[in-house]
Amino acid sequence: MVLTLAAPAFAQSQSQSQSQSQSQSQPQPQPQPQMQAQAEPLPPPSPSPYSAPPPVLAAPLPPPTAMPPPGGAADAAMSERLELVRSSKRQWTGARVMNGFAGAIGITSTLLSLTSAIYVGAAHYPPSTSDLTKPPGVGDPAQILSLVSSTSSAVGFGLSAGGLALRHHILRKLDADPGRGLFLSGTVVGLVGIAAIAAGYIVGFANIGNTHDQSIAMLSTSLGGSLFCNVATTMYAKDGSNLQKAWKNLTTF
């Protein structure tokens, strides 16, 4: 009976001893290492065979050697030339205005000369010496037209000559004058016209011979002088065109 009561206690003690021995025989778990705080950098990607090649930079150009150094004699001459052109612009503009007025007066005098010639032909002026009812005189329309046309042509020639002379002088200072041959030829023709116009005034207001012959002489000299002056003004217009081309070449370099 004693053995029966002691058997469960003995079995329990044997089971506890076996569990302790097994726990001692098992290894203890090792602590896990901590994760690194920072990640390692990734390797660079491999170049793609389809990527664009790097740009090619050209080598810098060498400094120019054939050009003159800045501030040299050529630059000084160029700046002086430009300053002279700027200072001459006002004079050039005034000379062109004079030539413009001369051209307008020349056209007017040409129209008056044509009117006078038409009137002389239509009215059969001057009357014959047998017609004593109406003797010719300075107050006749034909003579007035001839005097006005000759005077206007002389004024136009004078303005044109003055304007062209000034423009030739400006271009000569700039060493760009294309020549004065046409100007001198026109001046000679115009002076002949001025002399004829002066002779027409003298004949018209002087008592020389009979009135018929005096009227013919006055008309011939006046209209002839006006014609010469208008031809000279036309020659001046051609010369002025050549001068304007030379001036444009100066102001566009």
What's the average model confidence in pLDDT over 171-178? Answer: 86
Q: 107 or 21, which is more confident?
A: 107
Rg (CA), the chain: 58
Question: Quick one: what percent of the chain has pLDDT higher than 90?
Answer: 25
Tell me, yes or no, if the pTM score tops 0.75: no
Confidence bin at 37 (pLDDT 50/70/90)? very low
- On the question of pLDDT at 161 being above 90, the answer is yes
Q: How far is Cα 148 from Cα 25, in angstroms, rounded to an integer?
A: 151
Q: Which pLDDT score, from 0 to 100, does residue 2 have?
A: 45
Q: Which pLDDT score, from 0 to 100, does residue 143 have?
A: 82
Q: 151 or 176, which is more confident?
A: 151
- On the question of pLDDT at 226 being above 70, the answer is yes
Q: Which residues of 81-92 are buried (b: 16+ CB within 10 A; e: fewer)?
A: eeeebeebeeeb
Question: Is the sign of the CA dihedral 130, 132, 133, 136 positive or negative?
Answer: positive
